Structure 1
Amino acid sequence: MKETDLVSDDLPSIPTKRYFTIGEVARLCELKPHVLRYWEQEFEQINPVKRSGRRYYQRQDVLIIRQIQGLLHDQGYTISGARQWLNGDQAVDDTARYKQLLRQTITELEDIRKLLKSVK
């Protein structure tokens, strides 16, 4: 899975500037500021510069936030799973996803078999 697969195409483009306030990042990522503050605590990759009690995010922070948003909202990861994925442990999480998908497929096939038997 590529990084671009994790980011929604519906989000506004990121302007070319060095720093963004929390309000600007919230608009660019379509999130609430309190969500960004919470994610800062959960994901070590988000590390805005803090000056005079204000947060200033750089472009890389915005990209990481969008990636996290894609993992959580679009791909269905938990915070723990997204954290693992960002830390490079995606193989572990992907294995669990494949096992779940396989179990679901088996269940659906068994249901189809029962349905076909009842039609005879």
Structure 2
Amino acid sequence: MNHKELVLKAITAVFIDRDVTALEKYFGANYIQHNPGIPNGTDALKQFLPLLPPDFSYEPGVITENGNIVMIHGRYTNWSGKNMIGVDIFRVDNGKLVEHWDVLQEEVTAENSANGNSMFPIVL
């Protein structure tokens, strides 16, 4: 399995299937987190996942990799009451996600955008 497939499988298991056991399966024991609201490790995620509202969803978009760095563009629906567009960046080591950065922005519809373009999905 290449790094892109690993990240997509991990993100799908965590945010679509809400499988807490996926954190142990796909994430490294010393997982480093760069989102300032989430501590290092997977314990916070294990506690957070069951609290997601029933109408929360995640939709993956474009995914790319450069060596052991994988970036995935996605839509988080009802993330703390808002729809967010994000780019999650992962460092992969020995078949595990070991480090994470993200950039999140509240989604603005094409109708409400100054340029008329949607933020998601990217059409290539």
TM-score per shorter chain, which class? under 0.3
Larger Rg: 1
Relative to its length, the structure with more helix (as a share) is 1
Please, what TM-score do these two structures have when normalized by structure 2? 0.26
Q: Provide TM-score, normalisation by structure 1.
A: 0.27
